Amino acid sequence: MSRFEQGILIAGIAGLVCCAAGAWLDAKAMLGAWLAAAVFMLGLPLGALTILMVHGLTGGSWGRAVREPLRAMTATLPLALIFFVPVLTRLGLVFPWAGADPATLPETVREKLAYLNVEFFLLRFVGCIAIWLVLIWIALGSTAGRDHQMGRNGKRYGVGLILHGLAVSVFSTDWMLSLEPEFTSTVFALYEAAAQVVAAFALAIIVLAARRAVDVMPGAKEDVALSEDLANMLLGFLLTWVYLAFMQWLVIWGGDLPDEIHWYVVRGHNGWQYVLWLLIGLNVLAFAGLLSRQLKRAHAGLLGLASATLAGHFADVFWRLRPPLLAHGPISLWHDVVAWVGMGGLWLALFIFLYRRPDRMSLWKREAAHG
């Protein structure tokens, strides 16, 4: 392990210690902050898994270039899942439907307690975990090596993507949508999946471009720089996400039903509007920058654009998840800081460790295969 990785790991452990203290002081406030950070962390490997499987289906030189960072990201999935364990121990502190007296819940929520109950929730989560573990095993296994054979895996990836889609839908409904159990939105799972893909791809570009110029890497077409290709892919993913986010807003604005619009009302007041402006600003910045060929071809430009996109995603996750969980005003935001540092440090250390030593991934894979 290099000093850099050790430093990150130590920061992460320090953060975790603070989190433990936070949980001891106020478990509810701590878990609320913890969940938002855990969802962000899990989004990265899930997004990477989506991209790996889509690339397995379609092929294309863009995927070959980002394969290594995506593989390392995918391999961190078990760690990201472990982050959810603390929340599982006290579900009632986070989810209004868990542990509450049904009589106190609104009628629409009482109607869906057959789905939103702790046992079924745990069962579904275990199901999602099982699907994802199998999928990363398949995805990491078949993308190993220099140039894996495409086409032969088409059907496997096709079925994999269907299962993955179901798992992500169940996950986003359970862990994100049900934080406000009155609210429903059919597009929410796609919206979340698109956000994950944007984040994973942006991070992959950052990692790829961090140390060296992207242009000289293999995988470029004869007349288009690889960096431009990757940036265009990022633009495509970003636009998909923007589209889904705007459509959810537009439809809910149009319907103006109390249960639905409340989701946005909460997120447009009490300071949350500033987070919203920040996230819009970052994404507009990234979008405008991604139209410029000079920026896309420049090393620093590409790095900056991907960073702005990732920062925008960070703001987005925070804005979507945090408002219903934040109880005591801005003072309790220190919980968030320690949760981000703790989980982020741990995750980043593992990610960098795996990215620098791709051979360790196969070791991990063999272990997983054996048991």
Partner 1 sequence: MSLYGILAVFGEPEALVEAAGGMRDRGYRHMDAFSPFPIKELDQILEIRGSRLPWIVLAGGIASAALAYALILYSVEIDYPINVGGRPLHSWPPFLVIAFEAGILGAAFAAFFGMLAANGLPCYHHPVFNAEGFGYARGGKFHLLVETADPKYRKGVTKGQLRRLGAESVEEIEA
Partner 2 sequence: MADVSATSPPVLRGRHDFPEISGRIGSIVLSGRLPRHFWTAFFVCFLLVLVFLYSITYLIAVGVGAYGIDIPVAWGTMISNFVWWIGIGHAGTLISAVLLLLRQPWRASINRFAEAMTLFAVAMAGLFPILHLGRPWFFYWLLPLPNVHMHWPQWRSPLVWDFAAIATYATVSLLFWYLGLLPDLAVLRDRAQSRPVQLFYGILALGWRGSAFHWARYQTAYFLLAALATPLVVSVHSIVSLDFTFAITPGYHSTIFPPYFVAGALLSGFAMVLTIAIPLRWAFSVEDLITVRHMDNAAKLMIAAGMVVAYGYVSEAFFAWYSGKPYERTMMIERALGPYAQLFWVMLGLNCGVLQLLWFRSIRRTMPLLFAIALAINVGMWIERYIIVVTGPSRDYLPPAWGEQSLTGLDFGILFGSIGTFFALVFLFIRILPAITIFEIEELAEEKGKIR
Binding site for partner 1 (CB under 8 A): 223, 249-250, 253-254, 291
CB of 353 to partner 2, least distance (A): 30
Q: Which amino acid is at 162?
A: I
Closer of 178 and 283 to partner 1 (Cβ): 283
What are the structure tokens assigned to 339, written together? Answer: 């949760």
Q: Which residues contact 329 (CB under 8 A, 6 or more apart)?
A: none
Query: Interior CA angle at 163 toward 94 and 195, to 5°?
Result: 55
Query: Interior CA angle at 42 toward 218 and 287, to 5°?
Result: 55
Closer of 185 and 307 to partner 2 (Cβ): 185
Q: Which of 110, 254, 243, 236 is nearest to 187 (CA)?
A: 243
CB of 102 to partner 2, least distance (A): 13
Tell me which of partner 2, partner 1, none is bound by residue 212, counting a contact when its beta carbon lies within the kind-specific cut-off of 5 to 8 angstroms.
none
Residues 110 and 182: beta-carbon distance below 8 Å? no
CB of 273 to partner 2, least distance (A): 22
CB of 220 to partner 2, least distance (A): 12
Report CA-CA distances (Å) from 234 to 13, 92, 263, 289, 309: 33, 38, 28, 11, 9
Closer of 33 and 252 to partner 2 (Cβ): 252
CB of 238 to partner 2, least distance (A): 12
Tell me which of partner 1, partner 2, none is bound by residue 186, counting a contact when its beta carbon lies within the kind-specific cut-off of 5 to 8 angstroms.
partner 2
**Number of H-type helices and E-type strands within the chain:** 17, 0
CB of 82 to partner 2, least distance (A): 28
Closer of 119 and 256 to partner 1 (Cβ): 256
CA distance 318 to 282: 14
Closer of 35 and 279 to partner 1 (Cβ): 279
Binding region for partner 2 (CB under 8 A): 58-61, 107-112, 115, 149-152, 155, 158, 161-162, 165, 169, 173, 182, 184-190, 221, 239, 243-244, 247-248, 250-252, 254-255, 257
Closer of 91 and 170 to partner 2 (Cβ): 170
Sign of CA dihedral 366, 42, 87, 103: negative
